[in-house]
Amino acid sequence: MYKYDKIIDKEKILNLYNDAGWTNYTKDEERLIKAIENSLMVISAWEEDNLVGLIRIIGDGETIIYIQDILVLESYKRKGIGSNFLRNILDKYNHVRQKVLLTDDSEETRGFYEANGFFSCDKGELVAFVKF
């Protein structure tokens, strides 16, 4: 089941982010919760009362969206949850020209996003910059 709600139990969120190894987020729990609540859109995937995935979108919703977080519990990967998240977001924001995300580079990650219609800036006419 999918829910469209930014208010999710903190312990469930922390479990999901820790399962993904995203400890930079979980070091500051209150900031993570506030970031989720301030997002343009959040969709979560549930099996009964168990949070199994989440996608978080930021942006203006008209000219740009940024896929900030997309997580699926390790034990639920390869069941279509991540692809369903992306399809849902791409359908909702099909009028938006720029759909951007920044993620770690791995064969699995490239394969997932390319299978979902994204392309890496290093394979096109664009360049991406980031400052941490």
Identify the pLDDT of residue 132. 75
Residue the block writes with tokens 């089941």: 1
The secondary structure of residue 39, as a DSSP letter, is: S
Identify the pLDDT of residue 11. 96
Residue ranges covered by each domain of the chain: 2-123
CATH placement of domain 2-123: 3.40.630.30
**What is the mean pLDDT of each successive set of 10 residues along the chain, which is 132 residues long?**
94 96 94 97 97 97 95 95 94 94 82 82 75 75
pTM score: 0.86
Identify the pLDDT of residue 18. 97
C-alpha span between 116 and 96 (Å, rounded): 17
Q: Report the length, in residues, of the chain.
A: 132
